[in-house]
Chains A and B, each alone.
Chain A
């Protein structure tokens, strides 16, 4: 008998009945999530519908479309979209699907075009999505109604981050971002003029469930264990010693937010050469003053549910492909208003740590393979996310703060997950 058909009020079987409440244990002293969340293709299909097709999803950074006519294609869950910038510099987010027979209008990742012509029957659309030309139009009845590309109903841009939502109605963007907003501000102020440019991404295939990357991006507990070799390498070549690294890791904090967002604060997460780091600190201090500059340098990984992490010097975009396959793209952020050698050093550091062949990234990927393998053990039903569950400081607006090694961000993720999955 299929495990999903078994009668079991909790855990296995619950998914088949659409009983998502039963997949999360949220009690005062324990917080657990069921393994099927990472392994069951039916749950994954529901996630695409109930999470990715309803909430706000990160699409791109506006520096990827600097000129009129620029476009890039991306995805909301598994639905293809084109983001365009028209002659008046307005952004449009359109479904990448011809109104005639559904062909993907654009197969390129990015480019510049005033019009899109469907390769199948030659229908032409403007980069605002208006249908400009239908080939051999006499083939349609005189009163036949032809329409332009379907726009994504809601688009919001904050600090250069472009988000879209496929739901016509729903939480507005400010409500969605909630308390995480002030930290997004701090992150964006990494640039003394508040402006950054993203570069071509490091991209990798993660042979596991998308939520493994979401959880990991704000996990302060694992670094000294999983990334021992990277820290040892740093120490061996004149960088921080292992004990210095551990001490730094111990002074951070984590937060979980309403809306499923999570944050890891790790002071001096990046390991820039001291002299260059000092130049950068001076640059921020001059602009913002000492106190604000210190906060900006807090080293933030801000995971905005469900698919983007503002992860110190990169924007990490999480693209689910299947229940056990995910693509991650990490966009280096070049800061405006800092000396050139600061960006050069930030790039070197990011690439060395978190690039496709970075020492930390490669060990994370190996780990995800291991977790996805281990979760095939059917009787290992519950993933334990209880660290410091009873030691969170809850702020009035809902931000839950705990020590760097707590699982508060992961718990926030699954609270929101449950809320959306249960909202039929």
Chain B
């Protein structure tokens, strides 16, 4: 079983829309129970021994979403607005017939509304990344792994308090 590129794009576009519209429960439901959301610092490193920017299991993803919605999580007060652009989508085969791999390029435009004279607010930020997914068929495609390789993953970065 595999995906056409059009089906893969539909999957990725829907995820992008969930995040851009803060539909976090819908986003959580895209993942398999043992799925991982991973932003490495070094591609190919062992995430259980080497630091990552994010390495979230199911529980950690739920915690992240809970915190983002919490009124006192100041780094997201006001919350970021985002627009995601997805391109260069490719579908690859996996040894297991029930899984498929995708890769794509991602551009996220982020903006936190507010007063431009308040440091950190009302500034646009562009985040570039290459993404790699592994999806498994579980009554619909579910994410086993979402790996986001930020272009500046090993450099100092500004506050990263929203989901990429």
Rounded to whole angstroms, the CA-CA distance of A202 and B52 in the bound complex is 8
The answer to the question of B10 belonging to the interface, with a C-beta cut-off of 8 Å to chain A, is no
Name the prevailing secondary structure of the A interface residues: helix
Name the prevailing secondary structure of the B interface residues: loop
CB pair A237–B50 under 8 Å, yes or no, is: no
CB pair B62–A202 under 8 Å, yes or no, is: no
Rounded to whole angstroms, the CA-CA distance of A93 and B1 in the bound complex is 58
Binds A, one of B19-27, B102-110, B117-125: B117-125
Smallest CB gap from B66: residue in A: A233
Binds B, one of A13-21, A160-168, A356-364, A402-410: A356-364
The answer to the question of A367 belonging to the interface, with a C-beta cut-off of 8 Å to chain B, is yes
Given A229-B67, A351-B52, A359-B67, A205 and B156 touching (CB < 8 A)?
yes
Q: How far is the CB of A345 from chain B (nearest CB, A)?
A: 10
Kindly supply a per-residue 1/0 record for chain B positions 58-90, scoring 1 wherever the CB is within 8 Å of any chain A CB and 0 otherwise: 011011101100111111010000000000000
CB pair A233–B63 under 8 Å, yes or no, is: yes
Chain B residues closer than 8 Å to A355, beta-carbon distance: 51-54
The answer to the question of A343 belonging to the interface, with a C-beta cut-off of 8 Å to chain B, is yes
The answer to the question of A299 belonging to the interface, with a C-beta cut-off of 8 Å to chain B, is no
Chain A residues closer than 8 Å to B119, beta-carbon distance: 207-208, 369-370, 372-373
Kindly supply a per-residue 1/0 record for chain A positions 337-377, scoring 1 wherever the CB is within 8 Å of any chain B CB and 0 otherwise: 00000011001101110011101001101110110110000
The answer to the question of A420 belonging to the interface, with a C-beta cut-off of 8 Å to chain B, is no
Given A233-B63, A237-B63, A204 and B49 touching (CB < 8 A)?
no
The answer to the question of B151 belonging to the interface, with a C-beta cut-off of 8 Å to chain A, is no
The answer to the question of B157 belonging to the interface, with a C-beta cut-off of 8 Å to chain A, is yes
Instruction: Pull 27 A–B residue pairs with CB atoms less than 8 Å apart, ordered by A.
Output: A200-B45, A201-B51, A203-B154, A203-B157, A229-B67, A229-B73, A229-B74, A230-B67, A232-B72, A237-B66, A327-B156, A328-B156, A329-B156, A348-B55, A350-B51, A351-B52, A355-B54, A356-B53, A356-B157, A356-B160, A359-B64, A365-B158, A365-B159, A366-B74, A366-B120, A369-B119, A373-B119
Residues of B near any A CB (own CB < 8 A):
39, 41-42, 45, 48-55, 59-60, 62-64, 66-67, 70-75, 77, 117-120, 154-161
